[in-house]
Amino acid sequence: MTDQYAVVGNPIEHSKSPLIHAAFAAATGQDLEYAKICAPLDDFAGCVEGFRLMGGKGLNVTVPFKLEAFRLATKLTERARSAEAVNTLKFDGDEILGDNTDGEGLVQDILGGCDFTIEGRRVLVLGAGGATQGILLPLIAQRPAALMVVNRTAAKADALKAHVVDHFAIDTGGFEAIEGREFDLVINATSASLSATALPIAQDNFASGSLAYDLAYGNEETVFMRQARVCGAAQVADGLGMLVGQAAESFYLWRGVRPQTAAVIEQLRQQQS
């Protein structure tokens, strides 16, 4: 019997997840079907329960339901607890396992897609919202030499320390705190690229050979990528590889098979052009 999976959100028509998982299934020989579900804004839990009772094996969760998925899960992975948000649900009997694969998707794209090593590097994350909270633990697992999170409101960045206190001593502050400081990897986790807004970063923030990575992606380079290139970043990347990488991590959680991502990323790139 063909196993059923889906992505749930509202809105959902824009989601690339069905294409990505269909490609993964074809490449790995897995017998599954993957659909889109537009859940009512006031009944996410009922939608999930209905899918599970019909035999569904797992769900990807997108906006605006990641916090509800976190609360719905009966068991959480460590990275989901740290993120306080869930983007992947796996059903096993009465158990609902909640995971957050975003950070691992980012890390794998940086290591593989960008051929960039995080271990021993100085890492700067711009922004202190939910996206940053979701990627901190996987970044820390790579053992950077230093990790700093800055935000326009410094107190919001400072609050993230509680989520990683047992794992790593991160440095936090406002954007003024990075003046004159140099980093090997600069990650934009703000929404600035979505509004085409420049960020207060400077040439001296980018070390020789540095990588600038934007969690956002689109048909063209983001404002942050262009800004980082002008500031001297040796390499820039957008978040399309992270999107495919987090899907691959979900697929592995569900199926026990880790799909390759390069061909799928290239397929999506060609569709964008």
In the numeric block, the tokens 């460590």 are attached to 78
On whether the CB atoms of residues 179 and 170 are closer than 8 A, the answer is no
Other beta carbons within 10 Å of 196? 9
Active site residue 66: yes
Q: Which is the catalytic residue, given 16, 36, 57, 66?
A: 66
Other beta carbons within 10 Å of 253? 18
Give the integer Cα–Cα distance in Å for 137 and 258. 21
DSSP codes of every residue in 80-92: HHHHT--SEEEEE
Closest to 153 measured CA to CA, from 183, 174, 126, 182: 174
> Parallel, antiparallel, or unpaired: how do β-strands 146-150 and 95-99 relate?
unpaired
> Parallel, antiparallel, or unpaired: how do β-strands 146-150 and 3-9 relate?
unpaired
Please identify every residue annotated as catalytic. 66
